[in-house]
Amino acid sequence: MLSFIGIGSAFNTKLGNTSAFIHNQNSMILIDCGGTVFHRLMELKLLDGLKQLNIVITHTHPDHVGSLGEVIFYAYYALKIIPKLYFPNTELMWTFLRCIGVEEKMVEMVGSQEVEICDQELGKFNLSFLPVSHLPTIPAFGFILESKDSRVYYSGDANIIPGSVMKILEEGSLDILYQDTCGLDYDGNAHLSFRRLCEIMPKN
């Protein structure tokens, strides 16, 4: 369902900041927009001819919002479109956007935790944000993205998988689960270690 622009988290510049997308014709849903993402979007020509851009943000660390301003500016000035930006904490997001010069006329902010994305090219999606544990300094969210064909959970950065997500996974009503993981394993890890993932994930 999702294609990935990068899978390198914060520091692996070769693999790029973790970001995913759904693209069809002139429409796209973009998940997170770290510092390497705008460059890769341009390389892959994914912004060419866009008429509808939906951006879902999981949290405000630089590897998830570092080039968000560039994407919004490019959409507004070059593509002549106003992207929709989905993030539950609109006050925090507007504080960040104003600091980098984004004006309110350049983007449509959607702060609901549950929202319907309707797009002529992509179809209809239900987007449901879930608070997750990452670091205490900023809010972080995973989300469930559901279409008529599939239900996907995307963690963003998190050191847990929410119990509600595990429940629908065990019930067989979750098609795909994308979970942030890392090889490092220590107390207080902001990410979910492979060891911990193996412990909590049912073998079946």
- The reported pTM is 0.96
**Residue 187 above 80 pLDDT?**
yes
* pLDDT the model gives residue 202: 85
Q: With helix as H, strand as E and coil as C, how does the chain read?
A: CCEEEECCCCCCCCCCCCEEEEEECCEEEEECCCCCHHHHHHHCCCCCCCCEEEEECCCCCHHHHCCHHHHHHHHHHHHCCCCEEECCCHHHHHHHHHHCCCCHHHCEEECCCEEEEEECCCEEEEEEEEECCCCCCCCCEEEEEECCCCEEEECCCCCCCCHHHHHHHHCCCCCEEECCEECCCCCCCCCEEHHHHHHHCCCC
Average pLDDT of the segment spanning 108-128: 95
pLDDT tens digits for range 41-100 = 999 999 999 999 999 999 999 999 999 999 999 999 999 999 999 999 999 999 999 999
Looking only at the bridges linking them, the beta strands covering 192-193 and 114-119 are unpaired
Count of domains observed in the chain? 1
**Residue 19 above 90 pLDDT?**
yes
Domain of residue 69, residue span: 3-200
pLDDT tens digits for range 123-165 = 999 999 999 999 999 999 999 999 999 999 999 999 999 999 9
Write the CATH number for 166: 3.60.15.10
- When pLDDT is cut at 50, 70 and 90, the band that residue 1 belongs to is confident
Residues 6 or more apart whose Cβ sits within 8 Å of residue 63:
9, 10, 17, 18, 34, 35
- When pLDDT is cut at 50, 70 and 90, the band that residue 11 belongs to is confident
